Structure 1
């Protein structure tokens, strides 16, 4: 009897495991159509890369068409919010008055300060109490060796031209709170590592851009998961938890009007990615090529 029960449980595990795996997107595509029975018009999901050199930036006709067919654009955050900068200033600092100098050695601090002064054009004086991951933005500008372009800001401009509302899947306060969940020392360590390993970091970013241009979201997901510069050990906090939290918000927005969703491409792939989670909720998510 025990063998039969265990065999049955094994079959059930295989069945549900295969069913879950079937939801994972295998196609190479950055733009996806979201539909469901009873839904008058489809919505769309687009995977962005937050910073990219202009030579690699592409705004396809299919993407422009999807935006035109939508009633609003939803980004990870509302990039069109006039109060965004003020909110950022309120939530940028580490808790309990922690300062960067207490997280790294004196030589590392001097190295970091020198790098920011020489390569970014600003010292650390104004960022002494800022959550270390905040430093990563200007640092990536230096790693890219170009004046980067942003898909998010381009979509905001498209929305303005079409008098379309821009909304966010999460509030800025929510996103900044994530950086309180990851030890500040760990964040600072990643920043130092990026500076010390710039050739390696640049190579990884080039690999990421190459995968992005091939629209290989599975490859992007895999590379993001093994990256030493952000997600290592933090995938649950920075990726999976947010994906899960977004799904009911996406459902609500789709129920109100056809929406063009744009989130980082790493959020699309994998068993816990946005596409798989939407499919689990009964949505048909198909690539737009």
Structure 2
């Protein structure tokens, strides 16, 4: 009996790290921090029925003095800056030039038939503009929910300061690093097989609701077009955020919210903070009901 008990305990201890990683919410403490801060993994595209804000997250949010999103969504100049950054400055540039003629014709027809949009609007825009527009079609709902906008609203209601882990230019540069051929291929993946992309998003959302940051991180490997861009899209940004997180957490209790794909893996934000000597503990993040805020 004693031997069986010891074996059972040993198995539970082995499994504990796996269970522990099944959370989107973490407490950051230790090292020389005078107070704890919190880290939460968001998802940028999700339907209202899958969206949730747990009681534990609400408590962490209330405890924070400042909220850090990937970008400062409270900046009045953000939207105008984003639209300006989306425009191609090269006068000779045309969106159609980065596509094969047959692909551009198919894209043009897709926008007209499925989205009631004229491709002329996008001709002087960078590929990421049309990509972000088409990606929303991969969701099985007409209007997605947004953690960023929800947190922005909550911050205003609670008189909290909102800051950004990076600047708009930093995020734009991520996409500027990608080859035009890669971006055009990614766009055509959606146009040619939207149902496949919907299945892919469904699996990501399922992993998100399971709060399995390791599984979410593994989706990087499932995206062929990400090959060669993992550093610029994810890992370099993770490393750049650590000094920002350290400085803010030293000053006051802060909630940091970034895409959940940035949390997992050896180069994820959770492990990078632990390697710096911080204690990063998962907090149970209970899903009580769908679509609840």
TM over 0.5, shorter chain: yes
CA RMSD in angstroms comes to 1.8
| 2:108 corresponds to 1:113 | yes
Please give the TM-score of this superposition, normalised by the length of structure 1.
0.87
Residue 65 (structure 1) aligned to one of 59, 63, 70: 59
| 2:231 corresponds to 1:218 | no
- 1:133 deviates by 2.1
Give distance in 2, aligned partners of 1:60 and 1:286: 17
Residue 241 (structure 2) aligned to one of 232, 246, 257: 246
Could you report, residue by residue, the CA deviation over 1:77-127 in whole angstroms, capped at 9, with x for unpaired residues? 111111011111221134634321111122211211222233333222122
- 1:239 deviates by 0.3
Q: Which moved more, 1:60-69 or 1:190-199?
A: 190-199
- 1:49 deviates by 0.7
Give distance in 1, aligned partners of 2:199 and 2:188: 17
The alpha-carbon distance between structure 1 residues 266 and 165, as it changes in their structure 2 partners (threshold 3 A), is same
The alpha-carbon distance between structure 1 residues 25 and 252, as it changes in their structure 2 partners (threshold 3 A), is farther
Give distance in 1, aligned partners of 2:18 and 2:127: 33
Equivalences, count = 266
- 1:158 deviates by 0.5
Give distance in 2, aligned partners of 1:242 and 1:80: 21
Segments of 5+ residues of structure 1 without an aligned counterpart are 1-22
Residue 35 (structure 2) aligned to one of 23, 37, 41: 41
Extract structure 1 runs of 4+ deviating beyond 6 A. Answer: none
Please give the TM-score of this superposition, normalised by the length of structure 2.
0.86
For residue 255 of structure 1, what is the aligned residue in structure 2? 250
| 2:44 corresponds to 1:50 | yes
Segments of 5+ residues of structure 2 without an aligned counterpart are 1-16, 285-293
Give distance in 2, aligned partners of 1:50 and 1:160: 20
Contact 1:243 1:272 in 2 (8 A): yes
For residue 16 of structure 1, what is the aligned residue in structure 2? none
Give distance in 2, aligned partners of 1:25 and 1:276: 16
For residue 148 of structure 1, what is the aligned residue in structure 2? 144
For residue 78 of structure 1, what is the aligned residue in structure 2? 72
Contact 2:20 2:282 in 1 (8 A): no
